[in-house]
Structure 1
């Protein structure tokens, strides 16, 4: 009698365990909810503080042509026909990779930077070669919370900064305003921020 009860108990236990996740009364178990999209910026490898932060999380539109691999300038070795050791010799010019999320945050930050620099241009007062005083450009970036800790570099009509996610750089003069979103350089120009391309070598 005791053995029969044990066998019956084991059989009921097996049926109970195998019945988990099946349909009951024509109602299927609801699939687990996926987490909502993140509203916080993707982490940066340098763990810099944030600046030029958009008020809302930007929409990420995956692009098959957008590369998330580091960029190097110049000819690449292909099937052994390129310059030997080109990649090694120019590794200092490599930029950090950019995911679609980082690119979207960078584009949103670049819009904020552009709006502040447009104000500088609208106020006038350009100097020689159409350049504005570095202090005016620095003040515009400071209104977005971008300062020395963000690697801000300004000179000769050029500006660059690290938003805590990616670099935003470009030119601001009386006749020109450009913005570019890119990764920080592996070895930036000495004496500048992380977003200025090295003009020399090691």
Structure 2
């Protein structure tokens, strides 16, 4: 009798251990594996590129950081002594930072864009307030491979486009042509591309 109980207890113990092992193994299998060192990490699809120069531009060293910073709307802030929660409340107007490499590519792209927009101005035919037809500006950018997939936005002489590296934006009218290289906005103006500053508020 005692031997039968001992055998039964051993059998139950073996079953319990096997079940625990199965559960532990199942739990380990369900857990996502940690990425191995050197393995590629998943990331977002890169933006399509346009207005790319034929040769890689020269990358200049980044300037040393100043002691003061500028807020999203250009207001000077000394050592973070701005209004309480100013940065938090205006985070939607922040632009992405640019590495020296991206800034160099952006400057090269801006030069190409400027050359195409100069052709639009040289052809003349500006409309109200000296602005050219949006179709003509879009056609100029299209010659550099820039289209809707690049977040292109054109309105009343203003243009913006994302080259895949940076934003290039500015004004093209009968009287002026400007180009500005900057990062995409974290929350751009609704209904526009990633390069148009949000004029709303939170």
Q: Structure 1 unaligned runs (5+)?
A: 1-44
Q: 1:37 maps to what in 2? A: none
1:121 paired residue number: 121
Kindly tell me: are residues 125 and 82 of structure 1, through their superposed partners in 2, closer, same or farther at Cα, counting changes over 3 Å?
same
Q: Pairwise CA RMSD of aligned residues? A: 2.3
1:114 counterpart SS class: helix
Question: Does structure 2 conserve the Cα–Cα contact (< 8 Å) formed by 1:130 and 1:173?
Answer: yes
Residue 64 of structure 1 deviates from its aligned partner by 1.5
1:86-125 aligned at under 5 Å gives the runs 86-125=86-125
Partner of 2:46: 47
Do residues 83 (structure 1) and 83 (structure 2) align?
yes
Q: TM-score, normalized by length of structure 1? A: 0.72
The equivalences for 1:32-181 within 5 A come to 47-65=46-64, 72-75=72-75, 78=78, 81-181=81-181
**Residue pair 1:151, 1:162 contacting (<8 A) in 2 also:** yes
Count of residue pairs brought into register by the alignment: 158
Take 2:174 and 2:87, find their aligned partners in 1: how far apart are those partners? 38
Q: Does 1:191 align with 2:198?
A: no
Larger mean CA deviation between 74-83 and 123-132 belongs to 74-83
- In structure 2, relative to structure 1, the CA distance for the partners of 1:89 and 1:51 (3 Å cut) is same
Other-structure match for 1:201: 201
The CA distance in 1 between the partners of 2:163 and 2:120, in whole Å, is 20
Structure 2 unaligned segments of length 5 or more: list them. Answer: 1-43
Deviations along 1:38-66, one digit per CA (max 9) or x if unpaired, are xxxxxxx7711000000000001113157
- Checking the alignment, whether the CA contact within 8 Å between 1:153 and 1:160 is kept in structure 2 is yes
Point out the structure with max Rg over C-alpha: 2
Q: Judging changes above 3 Å, is the alpha-carbon distance between structure 1 residues 75 and 184 closer, same or farther for their aligned structure 2 residues?
A: same
Q: Which has the higher helix share?
A: 2
